[in-house]
Structure 1
């Protein structure tokens, strides 16, 4: 080529689409239903691939729907009119929704797919640039524009970002790297970080492209790399190296599992110098080199042992060195350890169940068998259906069938003594409840060799190493939503517990985000729901501003959960539960409440109407103002607590003018209702509030009512010591004069009060609907013999009246994932809005009293 001459590009020229493709009336062509469905699919990024024909008069596309493979769509102009074909069942109609989605995608102004670390969203302050509706003949039409990214695009971006973050960490952190292999083996290194933790990294393949590491991150991330691999590759390959080629490797190579639980044995891979599996080993290894599934009737240990023996013989015959990854033996050990003997469990059923101190309901028998047979399982029955009893029965089955003897129960502090009572009730044993100073606790851990050991999450965090040293055989996490946030110290500590068997119990496995469910499942099976980084891009559809449009692929989640996850809704056993009735009492505001309430509402409105993303400081100011608005809906005195605290501490009943000065029509109404409830029957009452101060005010305004009737009450909250909690609850259950229990949400977590109370009072509406059901579930649960009444007190015309609207998308996700049939949850306009947008809507239409 002559110097200075610019080479010509071989890329086909950009061509425009035919105007009839862009201007035709798609609703008239396909019908209203197909048009609306197709436009929605286009907006949700379901068109995975699209290209124009060479003359621009037609297009070919692939459109994803609920099945695994996308549908193939063809649209052509014939005699001036649109004609389409699709592989879907409706493809024979004039036009299906997939054809509409393809044409709609072509019509959107398309911009380049954004790059970088924003998760597929434009950087703040950048404008969206629209390109002309053109494409290259035979080339894919890429881009975002109005439509969202496809699932593959989202995952690809997230994958790149995860690998880049590990590369950055490998450059930023200090490691000591030592070569520990011989010259005839693949280069193997010991990588030691600053804490002294050692990892083994092995480089395989001509360019070290097939490497692995012994760290947990490599085993779980399904990226094929980690920061230790990145560090070693950069250090070792800084100069050309010749990696030994005459080596047959049998090694651990994690695969990407998108639609089912990972099978670690099928991640054992064979690589030969020729680049493919030896023909003689085809019985054990598939064409891609991975170990075949274990045949029925064969143990994992025997299957892998035979495969390794065959591989060793083949390597020896060919004159190759055998490279056997030490991680392979660890995989087999983990597979065999913790796998219950199902036949032994079924045989133990006849011995264990008749000796229980109670009769299990049929659904409880199913739950107990499920837990015992799975060994590591998740029981997410609705509140009040007896998860505690089912888990104790399952533990007894494992004890009888497997010889398991040590059961560690981790629960909230308020439930420790309740668990002890349940254990004694079910099997007659005295459980060990951990309390007291550190020296006494350490002595109890050392002495524990058999039975149930019960402690709370806070003690687990303090005594983790001592608890790990006890080597529990079964760990039961009750109210396991305590570890829903994977970054907390509690979650990290719990996940360091090791045991062959484990049960996770919670009635609310999902409250706000899919990541919460992932964190809970991680305790049982680290990779059951895939790597953390892939969860959001796989299941969450966002627009360019990061607002959630829909949750998709929920059937994949259900499929991955199915083997170890069991949930029964209360409606399934409703015939065994007492009747429940709900009543709402609407109250207003006084002038004392209204004035400061308006000031806080103005602050919220000022923040949310700025038309930009809020800073961290502004978010904190916003949340403080919202909290004060909710407190002012309760009582003026709650917001001005320092003025009222001395009087509340005084045991004298209040004067009428003091009750009015508190500034709370809600509490005045509550006092009247409570008086009527106490007079009409002998039923006991549980009063809930998010705030301890609100409960103290409630006790204050009802003090005269209670004193005149010689009725006792108590305040149950998270700050009580364990023994004080147990004494208070025993008194509420046993003493007929103790009829009113005031409880915070934190204090009442996991309480079983069905044998004591039958009336629940909510002094305010919680932000989270799951919290509301948890409150009611303390009383309306299995074992309740009476009709249950639930009373709600709500301030009319204020933010409290609309709180449930803010969390509708959370309820939609919860129900969509945990009930069969829904693969996608598309949120409505209100639910799609960001927090700031939704709050703006609440303030805009709020009717200040």
Structure 2
């Protein structure tokens, strides 16, 4: 077992928390010895670590538990403590290895990256005025102030190329992350200098924390007189100038230039350069005159990208004018392409870096392969990296073999083996998202010509580690394939666009300021300027819906089947709904409130399927199961029916299997417990075995699978996200489907599932407004009331909690409702309450005379809970019972029943 101690700090005795909070990257590297830097960097993403479950930090002990390396083996445990005999010395231990190892590297990487989550760093300050509410001047001032603060507080080392003067090149290294960047310092004003960091590239400010940090040190080292002397340029140089939203290519010139040189550069001197072919001719003339031009890295990248796009544009525009009649439809791949698919390939290749956002099932995989093939022929690309979910790797390989003659390397196995697999001679290399996190060092060593992201919405969280690592990958061409670029928020789309073109939508602070509407607390109320957003996306984003290619797809029908719940389901649902209502009425929610809310919300969704999912009692109560039994009988009366059935819960699939076995229907089942290697076999059996009539699956089967043999899709329950519902349906309703597809959505009445229908529709409206090029919607307001509550509940299921419900909106809704004949309604409600109270009291007396045994307390409690969900407190503090009648004729029935009830025992004529 490996152990090691750290050097002593000069300060007094520290607690372990204090010691770890002050730990820097360089100190951690020294602590692990010569291989420390490599161990920390390579181990950073090798394991999925959940702090709540895998980490303990208390007293003088830090402990990290990593999964066992072999099945049935002991987990790997790394501990870090303070040595008792030496002040402030760290002692680490690994129960598996004898020397410094990747396990210890993972522990220190976690501490360095997650200090806030571990409680080793202070929480961020209280929210300031939302960035969306700032004007342009204040927006820029805050962005500059934020970077200035980081320039002062973050620890960086600076190395100068020429220490005798301020205006020279520097290497700046962040001591915490270990990352280094080049800074070319040319003056004090924004835009005068250059930094190679990603923030400088995209923030449109002309500066960054690294430039500011170097300037701070230069001001302390050099006298004001030296800083007032401007930088004397000695050579011609091409650079990018960042002017607000625009990035322009410009030529920098020395003060002293020969007349012959001036004649060549005069037309482009101090002007934005847009004609690159003209620029290349002038550079050639300068070279003949013996004057080389220095080209900054970001300028060189932009020039190469634009020249390549211009060369491809004439070819792709020719294809797009008549894709239906172009010979490449039949010649490019081994299988013929549909016109819109060839158009998509031409769009992606012409853009160079693009998002293909077609609806599910329209053949994005084929278009991705076709784009690679087109670029191989026209741009001579040789290396393509495909990043996809793990479950789709084998399917990608099969589609490549079906569509073209290129060779493929599938990345798999242990960490030691995977490193070599990236260094292959194959045209396509396929890995999954988790492998990119673990193998980033090996991937970065390769020169990828094209990177294809399948299910690109995996990087929708622009602040997540996965998203940041993926977006750090470099390639000449890039293609993101996603049927759901906008799932819940406009932020999702922004993150995917950053991978394709990190300058397209500008920095985050500008994007959110321009497109989000918020209240004074920063809560998102809606989105604006969507027309401008569509225009900015048009050159890089192509989206075709099923409606736009409906002549090439079979018919699809959607049947929403509303099913009344059983009494048992209704009672349990009402009880949990009451808990949800009580919590959401609170102005502020504690962590325990969130946990209780999450649990009750989950219970409401599950009981809409079956009480067994909630109380684990079998047999349970489920009107859906009874309806499904009838539905199976009707569906399978028709010859040739094949069904895909989705449910969120494996227990529900267990319950559904029973009637299927009883009726003798053949089926296969796929859920999260099925190994990846067996999934292809299940798909093959369902597709080709006529006796296999159903494909039962959880959401594990909602993406990537091609199940065109099915002509029926049954959604036993509704997902939170409209994209997931579309993903489910698209397993059957996709290109290659020759039959009409019938979709059933089962919804339990009077439950939270009914409210989900409206929520799904609202989110779809936002997606269309942002993506549909024919849309005229420029603004989307997020609904208030129940929709607002639903949005909050969705956030509580996995995203970051947002601000409380706006009380002013709530008050307006209540006022609007009360405005309708308030006085009359109050009188009727009061009289009705007295009438019902008298009737039920009288009924209770009659029952008590006939039955001396009191009713079961559990039954009374259940009924009370159900009725309580319908009770509100009015302005005077009196309880009010609200009920919903199925139709107006029910009023007559209720009046008749109450009259008969009150007439019992009364004299005739009374």
TM-score by length of 2: 0.66
Counterpart check, 1:796 vs 2:773: no
- The separation in 2 between residues aligned to 1:270 and 1:692, in whole angstroms, is 69
- The separation in 2 between residues aligned to 1:279 and 1:331, in whole angstroms, is 25
- The separation in 2 between residues aligned to 1:702 and 1:185, in whole angstroms, is 79
Aligned to 2:727: 774
Question: What aligned pairs does 1:54-453 form with structure 2 within 5 A after superposition?
Answer: 118=127, 120-121=129-130, 153-181=134-162, 183=164, 186-194=167-175, 195-205=177-187, 210-238=192-220, 240-241=223-224, 242-243=226-227, 244-245=229-230, 247-248=232-233, 250=237, 252=239, 254-256=241-243, 258=245, 263=247, 265=249, 283-285=266-268, 289-294=270-275, 297-298=277-278, 301-302=280-281, 328-329=299-300, 331-332=302-303, 335=306, 341-342=312-313, 350=327, 353-354=330-331, 356-429=333-406, 431-446=408-423, 448-453=424-429
- Alpha-carbon distance, 1:821 to partner: 4.0
CA contact (8 A) 2:173 2:180 kept: yes
Which of these residues, 673, 690, 710, is aligned with residue 631 of structure 2?
673
1:237 is paired with a residue of what secondary structure?
helix
- Alpha-carbon distance, 1:814 to partner: 1.0
- The separation in 2 between residues aligned to 1:304 and 1:330, in whole angstroms, is 16
Question: What aligned pairs does 1:599-748 form with structure 2 within 5 A after superposition?
Answer: 599-610=575-586, 612-641=587-616, 661-705=619-663, 709=664, 711-748=665-702
- Alpha-carbon distance, 1:414 to partner: 2.2
CA contact (8 A) 2:239 2:295 kept: no
- Alpha-carbon distance, 1:280 to partner: 7.2
Aligned to 1:482: 458
Counterpart check, 1:757 vs 2:766: no
- Alpha-carbon distance, 1:609 to partner: 0.9
- The separation in 1 between residues aligned to 2:147 and 2:188, in whole angstroms, is 23
- Alpha-carbon distance, 1:719 to partner: 4.2
Per-residue CA deviations over 1:286-324 (Å, capped at 9, x if unaligned) read: 6xx4533226x43x54456768999979xxxxxxxx998
- Alpha-carbon distance, 1:153 to partner: 3.2
Q: Whose relative contact order is higher, 1 or 2, with alpha carbons under 8 Å and at least 6 apart?
A: 1
CA contact (8 A) 2:265 2:282 kept: no
CA contact (8 A) 2:332 2:373 kept: no
- The separation in 1 between residues aligned to 2:191 and 2:426, in whole angstroms, is 49
Aligned to 1:456: 432
Aligned to 1:654: none
1:527 is paired with a residue of what secondary structure?
coil
Per-residue CA deviations over 1:46-96 (Å, capped at 9, x if unaligned) read: xxxxxxxxxxxxxxxxxxxxxxxxxxxxxxxxxxxxxxxxxxxxxxxxxxx
- The separation in 1 between residues aligned to 2:280 and 2:649, in whole angstroms, is 56
CA contact (8 A) 1:269 1:291 kept: no
1:388 is paired with a residue of what secondary structure?
helix
In the alignment, structure 1 segments of 5+ residues that lack a partner are 1-115, 122-148, 314-321, 644-657
Question: What aligned pairs does 1:471-550 form with structure 2 within 5 A after superposition?
Answer: 471-550=447-526
- Alpha-carbon distance, 1:761 to partner: 0.5
1:572 is paired with a residue of what secondary structure?
coil
Per-residue CA deviations over 1:93-150 (Å, capped at 9, x if unaligned) read: xxxxxxxxxxxxxxxxxxxxxxx974635xxxxxxxxxxxxxxxxxxxxxxxxxxx9x
CA spacing shift, 1:305–1:183, aligned 2, 3 Å? farther
CA contact (8 A) 1:420 1:430 kept: no
- The separation in 2 between residues aligned to 1:790 and 1:783, in whole angstroms, is 17
Per-residue CA deviations over 1:703-756 (Å, capped at 9, x if unaligned) read: 322xxx2x33222234432211111111111111121111222332122212x1
- The separation in 2 between residues aligned to 1:633 and 1:728, in whole angstroms, is 29
- Alpha-carbon distance, 1:368 to partner: 1.5
- The separation in 2 between residues aligned to 1:818 and 1:456, in whole angstroms, is 27
CA contact (8 A) 1:690 1:745 kept: yes
CA contact (8 A) 1:368 1:394 kept: yes
1:191 is paired with a residue of what secondary structure?
strand
CA spacing shift, 1:401–1:234, aligned 2, 3 Å? same
Aligned to 1:91: none
- The separation in 2 between residues aligned to 1:227 and 1:206, in whole angstroms, is 13
| RMSD (Å), alpha carbons | 3.6
